[in-house]
Each structure stands twice: as C-alpha cells, then as structure tokens.
C-alpha cells in the first residue's frame, strides 16, 4: 500500500477543496492511502518521513505563496525528498504564482520526481464545477501514475 501526503494551506477554502478532489483521484487509481493535512499540523521534518508521494498546495496572494508555505518548504527541505513522486497545486483568480514556485522548488531544490502535468493552478470559480473537480481528480491520478 502506497502512502501519499497532501499538505496544503488555504485561507478561504478553495485550495482545501482542490486537495480533497485530488485525494479522490489518488484513491480512484488504486491501492493507496492518502493523508490530507494542513501544513500548520505538520511539526518538524520527521513528520514528513515515510510517504511515497507528496503534493503541496497553496493559494496565491499578492503574486506569491503565503509566508507559512515558504516556511513549510524550508522544513520540507530537511526531510530528504529527493526521488520521491509529487506535484503542486493551488487556487487563484488570475496569476496563480504559488503552485509554480512550489513546483519549481520541489523539482530543482528537492530533486523530486514530479508529474509531467506540471504545476496545477485552478481558477477559483472553477473549483466547485464538475470540470474543476475532474481536473483535480486527474491531477491526483497523474501523481499516482508515477508510483507504478
Ligand atoms: C488580497 C488578495 C490578494 C490576491 N492576490 C492574488 C494574486 O496575486 N494572484 C492570483 O491569481 N490570485 C490572487 N488572489 C485570489 C486568491 O488566490 C483566490 O481567492 C484563491 O481562490 C484563494 O484560495 P483559498 O480559498 O485556498 O485561500 C488574491 C486574493 C486576495 C483576497
């Protein structure tokens, strides 16, 4: 059984909703156990040990990720995630910079093995639509596909 962590931050709930749909996509794709955790519940790098894949999610505010996500990435850097599967996502209204920056760090700093779909930004007004839900589920499936 593969273990997957979805760690996210969400101020108004849209990125959290994305995380829940992504978890559904992961679960649909087979034998895996998904844990959904707000990053504020993750205390210390050891709490990031033992997963086969990691998805990190954050909304974009002021063209960047929330400061708590920046701090979380410093923590994740100590967790030794090289070679692990993953992806990054977040809700936005226009620019959606946060998932791009998170994905960039996961790829180039952590040296993770990331989904070929790239960073996943979803416009806020689409999150609750069938189309948005399917896009999230497909993103989850794409990360599950990396696990063989
Ligand atoms: C003060 C403020 C600044 C924002 N800045 C951006 C931005 O720079 N780029 C963007 O795409 N969306 C921006 N947004 C929109 C949020 O990313 C969007 O509402 C998102 O769905 C919030 O996600 P959450 O519900 O997970 O907190 C901003 C929203 C607020 C309230």
pLDDT averaged per 10 residues, the chain (length 148): 97 98 95 94 96 98 98 98 98 98 98 98 98 98 94
CATH for 90: 3.40.50.360
pLDDT of residue 31: 75
Give residue 26 CA to ligand 1 midpoint distance, Å.
26
Question: For residue 139, what are its two tokens?
Answer: 């993103």
Neighbours of 84 (CB within 10 A): 21
pLDDT of residue 37: 98
The whole-angstrom separation of Cα 123 and Cα 90 is 9
Q: Which amino acid residue places its CA nearest to atom 17 of ligand 1?
A: 92
Domain count, the chain: 1
Give residue 11 CA to ligand 1 midpoint distance, Å.
9
Containing domain of residue 130, as a range?
A: 2-145
Helical pair 97-108 and 67-77, crossing angle rounded to 10 deg? 10
Tokens 């992961």 belong to 26
- What is the total residue count of the chain? 148
For 23-62, the pLDDT digits (tens) are: 999 999 887 899 999 999 999 999 999 999 999 999 999 9
Q: Which amino acid residue places its CA nearest to atom 31 of ligand 1?
A: 61
pLDDT of residue 8: 98
pLDDT of residue 148: 80
Q: Phi and psi for 16 in degrees, rounded to 5?
A: -65, -40
Question: For residue 18, what are its two tokens?
Answer: 């994305």
- For residue 85, which of 110, 111, 107, 52 has the smallest C-alpha distance? 52
């Amino acid at each position: 059984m593969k273990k997957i962590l979805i760690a996210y931050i969400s101020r108004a709930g849209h990125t959290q909703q994305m995380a829940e749909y992504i978890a559904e996509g992961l679960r649909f794709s087979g034998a895996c156990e998904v844990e959904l955790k707000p990053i504020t519940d993750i205390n210390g790098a050891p709490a990031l040990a033992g997963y086969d894949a990691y998805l990190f999610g954050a909304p974009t505010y002021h063209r960047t990720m929330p400061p708590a996500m920046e701090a979380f990435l410093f923590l994740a850097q100590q967790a030794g995630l090289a070679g692990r599967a993953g992806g990054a996502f977040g809700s936005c209204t226009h620019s959606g910079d946060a998932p791009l920056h998170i994905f960039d760090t996961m790829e180039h700093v952590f040296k993770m093995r990331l989904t070929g779909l790239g960073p996943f930004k979803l416009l806020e007004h689409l999150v609750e639509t069938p189309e948005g839900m399917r896009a999230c589920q497909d993103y989850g499936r794409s990360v599950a596909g990396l696990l063989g």
